[in-house]
């Protein structure tokens, strides 16, 4: 990119909804649109449903028009979806689904393959092509697991419950498509790559929009015969077991889908009573001297959670937790004791995303009491300490230290609790769905010609379910910045600026120090994104929290409690499904009462 309070598990209880009856059709209607503008499924014969003939249902073209109505690229949606549906040889939902997905996968493949044709002696172009190939692998992975999830739940009543997974993974696909184009230097080749990616981007955007629509539709429907029984809608319950079930948890607060072995490990590891699979120690008292060596020794087909203990010490290495290294827990002796450090930076010729001292791509990663540093300094500009591209990742009581671009929250769902994050320019950036809860955000002194910006979110499409949420945090100046102000140095500090057109950042229930500029936010360049971004504040306090002096942009909002609740851990991250497994303190809802 350029330039500990322990909370109980909260369960939201909502009254049950009456089943919705669709007039004019007693045949079951299942509309599934997946992965790219995925598929519309109109199935179940008159004989199975005992009702009117399927011929009395809406025509395929009408159904496609209806399902595409919620998208931003309607013509692309109708054209591609009609072609996929009409080319299907029967009415089997999975057959139609495969037909539609093959169209999307082909389009994404063609778009990324175009990067190979952009031959150039320019080293930046060569690097961009290589990055596109890596990003294509990420897209294929997310498309594949989206398809597998849809197929697995197509014949059950659980599809609507999986919609957040689908929206998360497809939002990441959009981000990776954008990142491929961004890697090229300005000019003709970048324009060609952008044009080649256009249709794939539109299909991906449409998919996210329609999955949300279909999920809302299915969550209200009772579809007879779809899974061999009628779907039961949970209502509010006072009993703990039923309340936990409503949140997808067992009574011990852990997800129902976890094995008994993994449950025992995760219930105890945060208390450090479990024996780690591997111990890293610089003094030779562990199994490995480096973290990378411990990761390399991890079995390729390991089942369950792999735990690595990092003893006190400063580990000068570049660490990469790859996509194949899923469900790794790594804990240290303290964020000021067990430290991973490096100094890669943009000025010395390393691409921003590759400057990260510690990178995570393996889903389900958990870090506890670790420090991540990039010591390149402000003069080296972009220098990432931690890059996170792992779904359902959690950082508990960790420390991220750097200057510009300290934390690259790149993609997927991320939760940070009780962490300290320090930096100067855009030092929390990326396109993840991330919540920072009970964290300390420390703003440092930048170069004399720079201004401080805490966040730079990279949401590139209105339909993406991404954003940064800062809840019950403290935003404070480092001593060096305070001293600079005392000497009347003209250093301005802001809460954020829009890296991409639909940037989204919410600050709520937090202490904002008086050193933050009254405007609160600064533009990226000119009028770019000022009407399309979403910046919001709710119930903050401190010398820098006065919203009456904030920027007059159409995209800035002072929101109500009801609106703020959309961005809680429970609602924005669907945190009840996965965060309790860590044993970490967390809050699903708001802190303050009405």
For tokens 């961005």, what's the residue? 567
Kindly state whether residue 31 falls inside one of the protein's structural domains. no
Nearest CA to 114 out of 192, 175, 36 is that of 192
Q: What is the reported pLDDT for 222?
A: 40
Kindly state whether residue 17 falls inside one of the protein's structural domains. no
**What confidence tens digit (pLDDT) does each residue in 173-206 have?**
999 999 999 999 999 999 999 999 999 999 999 8
* Whole-angstrom distance, CA of residue 96 vs CA of residue 147: 12
Query: Burial level of 144, CB count in 10 A (0-12/13-18/19+)?
Result: middle
Q: Which of 49-58, 111-120, 324-333, 580-589 has the highest average model confidence (pLDDT)?
A: 324-333
CATH for 317 = 2.160.20.10
Two tokens, residue 332: 């240290």
What's the mean pLDDT in 96-100? 44
245/445: higher pLDDT: 445
* Residues 560 and 424 grouped into a single domain: yes
Handedness of CA 447, 448, 451, 452 (dihedral sign): positive
Kindly state whether residue 518 falls inside one of the protein's structural domains. yes
* 430 in Cβ contact with 409 (< 8 Å): yes
What's the mean pLDDT in 452-471? 97
13/417: higher pLDDT: 417
Band of pLDDT at residue 89, cut at 50, 70 and 90: very low
Band of pLDDT at residue 149, cut at 50, 70 and 90: confident
* Whole-angstrom distance, CA of residue 253 vs CA of residue 239: 14
**Among the ranges given (82-86, 492-496, 536-540), the one the predictor scored with the smallest mean pLDDT:** 82-86
Nearest CA to 574 out of 439, 463, 399, 413 is that of 413
What's the mean pLDDT in 404-408? 98
**Percentage of the chain with pLDDT > 90?**
60
Residue 272 has pLDDT above 50, yes or no: no
For tokens 């809680």, what's the residue? 568
Residue 271 has pLDDT above 90, yes or no: no
* Residues 277 and 212 grouped into a single domain: no
DSSP 301-365: T--S-EEEEE-SEEEES-EEE-TTS-SEEEEES-TTTEEEEE---TTTT--GGGG-SEEE-STT-
Q: What is the reported pLDDT for 488?
A: 65
* Residues 129 and 272 grouped into a single domain: no
Q: What is the reported pLDDT for 23?
A: 31
* 226 in Cβ contact with 234 (< 8 Å): no
Q: What is the reported pLDDT for 331?
A: 96
Band of pLDDT at residue 102, cut at 50, 70 and 90: low
116: phi then psi, degrees, rounded to nearest 5: -65, -25
Residues annotated as catalytic are 426
β-sheet bridge partners, residue 420 = 399, 440
* Residues 549 and 435 grouped into a single domain: yes
* 139 in Cβ contact with 131 (< 8 Å): no
What's the mean pLDDT in 435-440? 97
**What confidence tens digit (pLDDT) does each residue in 352-368 have?**
999 999 999 999 999 99
The residue range of the domain holding 156 is 71-219
pTM of the model: 0.83
Neighbour tally for 542: CB within 10 Å: 16
* Residues 265 and 203 grouped into a single domain: no
Q: What is the reported pLDDT for 106?
A: 80
Q: What is the reported pLDDT for 244?
A: 37
* 1 in Cβ contact with 426 (< 8 Å): yes
* Residues 180 and 326 grouped into a single domain: no
Residue 228 has pLDDT above 50, yes or no: no
Kindly state whether residue 390 falls inside one of the protein's structural domains. yes
DSSP letter at 404 equals B
* Whole-angstrom distance, CA of residue 457 vs CA of residue 529: 12
* Whole-angstrom distance, CA of residue 467 vs CA of residue 436: 11
CATH for 161 = 1.20.140.40
* Whole-angstrom distance, CA of residue 54 vs CA of residue 36: 27
Share the mean pLDDT of the chain: 81
80: Cα separation from own chain's centroid: 27
Kindly state whether residue 21 falls inside one of the protein's structural domains. no
427: phi then psi, degrees, rounded to nearest 5: -80, -5
* 362 in Cβ contact with 327 (< 8 Å): yes
End-to-end CA distance of the chain: 39
Which domain-ending residue is among 171, 192, 219?
A: 219
* Residues 175 and 120 grouped into a single domain: yes
**What confidence tens digit (pLDDT) does each residue in 51-70 have?**
433 443 344 577 677 778 88
DSSP letter at 530 equals T
Q: Classify 539 in phi/psi space as left (phi over 0), alpha (psi -120 to 50) or beta.
A: left
Kindly state whether residue 65 falls inside one of the protein's structural domains. no
Residue 25 has pLDDT above 60, yes or no: no
* Residues 200 and 262 grouped into a single domain: no
In the chain, the number of structural domains is 2
What residues contact residue 55 under an 8 Å CB cut-off, 6+ apart? none
* Residues 327 and 436 grouped into a single domain: yes
Residue 265 has pLDDT above 50, yes or no: no
Q: What is the reported pLDDT for 220?
A: 56
Count CA within 13 A, CB hemisphere, residue 62.
Answer: 6
* Whole-angstrom distance, CA of residue 53 vs CA of residue 287: 68
What's the mean pLDDT in 64-87? 80
Q: What is the reported pLDDT for 399?
A: 98
Q: What is the reported pLDDT for 103?
A: 64
Nearest CA to 534 out of 510, 511, 567, 565 is that of 567
Q: What is the reported pLDDT for 249?
A: 41
Band of pLDDT at residue 404, cut at 50, 70 and 90: very high
Exposure string over 452-490, b if 16+ CB within 10 A, otherwise e: bbbbbbbbbbebbbbbbbbbbbbbbbbeebeebbeeeee
What's the mean pLDDT in 437-448? 96
Kindly state whether residue 370 falls inside one of the protein's structural domains. yes
**Percentage of the chain with pLDDT > 70?**
74
**Among the ranges given (270-274, 392-396, 482-486), the one the predictor scored with the smallest mean pLDDT:** 270-274
* Residues 214 and 85 grouped into a single domain: yes
* Residues 263 and 203 grouped into a single domain: no
Kindly state whether residue 436 falls inside one of the protein's structural domains. yes
**What confidence tens digit (pLDDT) does each residue in 549-559 have?**
999 999 999 99
* Whole-angstrom distance, CA of residue 319 vs CA of residue 340: 8
* Residues 272 and 214 grouped into a single domain: no
What's the mean pLDDT in 320-344? 97
* Whole-angstrom distance, CA of residue 286 vs CA of residue 311: 8
DSSP 86-116: HT-SS--HHHHHHHHHHHHHHHHHHHHHGGG
């Amino acid at each position: 990119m350029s330039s500990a309070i322990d909370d109980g598990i909260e369960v939201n209880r909502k009254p049950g909804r009456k089943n919705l009856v669709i007039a004019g059709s007693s045949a079951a209607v299942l509309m599934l649109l997946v992965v790219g503008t995925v598929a519309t499924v109109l199935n179940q014969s008159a004989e199975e449903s005992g009702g009117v003939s399927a011929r009395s249902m809406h025509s395929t073209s009408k159904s496609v028009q209806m399902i595409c109505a919620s998208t931003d690229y309607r013509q692309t949606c109708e054209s591609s979806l009609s072609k996929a549906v009409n080319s299907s040889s029967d009415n089997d939902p999975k057959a139609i689904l495969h037909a539609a997905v093959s169209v999307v996968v082909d389009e994404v493949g063609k778009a990324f393959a175009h990067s190979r044709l952009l031959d150039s002696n320019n080293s930046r172009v060569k690097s961009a092509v290589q990055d596109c190939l890596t990003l294509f692998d990420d897209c294929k992975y997310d498309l594949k697991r989206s398809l597998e999830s849809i197929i697995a739940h197509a014949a059950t009543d659980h599809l609507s419950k999986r919609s957040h997974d689908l929206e998360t993974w497809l939002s990441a696909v959009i981000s990776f498509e954008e990142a491929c184009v961004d890697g090229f230097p300005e000019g003709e080749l970048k324009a060609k790559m952008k044009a080649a990616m256009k249709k794939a981007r539109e299909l991906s955007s449409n998919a996210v929009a329609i999955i949300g629509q279909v999920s809302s539709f299915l969550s209200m429907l009772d579809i007879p015969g779809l899974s061999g029984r009628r779907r039961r809608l949970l209502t509010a319950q006072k009993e703990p077991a039923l309340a936990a079930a409503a949140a997808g948890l067992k009574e011990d607060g852990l997800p129902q889908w976890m094995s008994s072995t993994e449950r025992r490990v995760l219930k105890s590891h945060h208390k450090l009573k479990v024996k780690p699979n591997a111990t890293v120690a610089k003094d030779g008292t562990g199994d490995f001297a480096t973290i990378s060596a411990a990761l390399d020794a991890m079995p390729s087909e390991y089942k369950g959670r792999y735990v690595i203990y990092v003893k006190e010490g400063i580990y000068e290495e570049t660490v990469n937790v790859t996509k194949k290294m899923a469900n790794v827990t790594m804990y240290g002796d303290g964020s000021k004791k067990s430290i991973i450090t490096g100094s890669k930076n943009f000025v010395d010729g390393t691409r921003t995303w590759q400057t990260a001292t510690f990178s995570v791509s393996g889903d389900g990663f958990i870090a506890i009491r670790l420090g991540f540093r990039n010591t390149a300094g402000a003069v080296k500009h972009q220098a990432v300490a931690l890059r996170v591209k792992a779904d359902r990742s959690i950082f508990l009581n960790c420390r991220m230290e750097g200057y510009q671009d300290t934390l690259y929250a790149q993609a997927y769902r991320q939760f940070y609790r009780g962490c300290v994050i320090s930096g100067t320019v855009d030092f929390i950036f990326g396109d993840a769905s991330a919540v920072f809860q009970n964290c300390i955000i420390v703003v440092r002194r930048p170069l004399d010609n720079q201004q401080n910006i805490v966040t730079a979110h990279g949401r590139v499409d209105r339909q993406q379910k991404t954003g940064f949420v800062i809840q019950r945090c403290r935003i404070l100046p480092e001593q060096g910045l305070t001293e600079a102000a005392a000497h009347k140095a003209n250093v301005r500090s802001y809460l954020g600026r829009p890296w991409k057109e639909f940037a989204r950042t919410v600050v709520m229930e937090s202490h904002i120090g008086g050193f933050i500029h009254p405007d609160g936010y600064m533009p990226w360049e000119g009028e770019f994104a000022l009407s399309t971004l979403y910046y919001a504040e709710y119930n903050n306090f401190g010398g820098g929290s006065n919203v009456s002096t904030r920027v007059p942009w159409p995209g800035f909002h002072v929101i109500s409690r009801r609106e703020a609740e959309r961005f809680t851990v429970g609602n924005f991250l669907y945190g009840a499904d996965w965060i309790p497994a860590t044993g970490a303190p967390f809050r699903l809802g708001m802190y303050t009462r009405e």
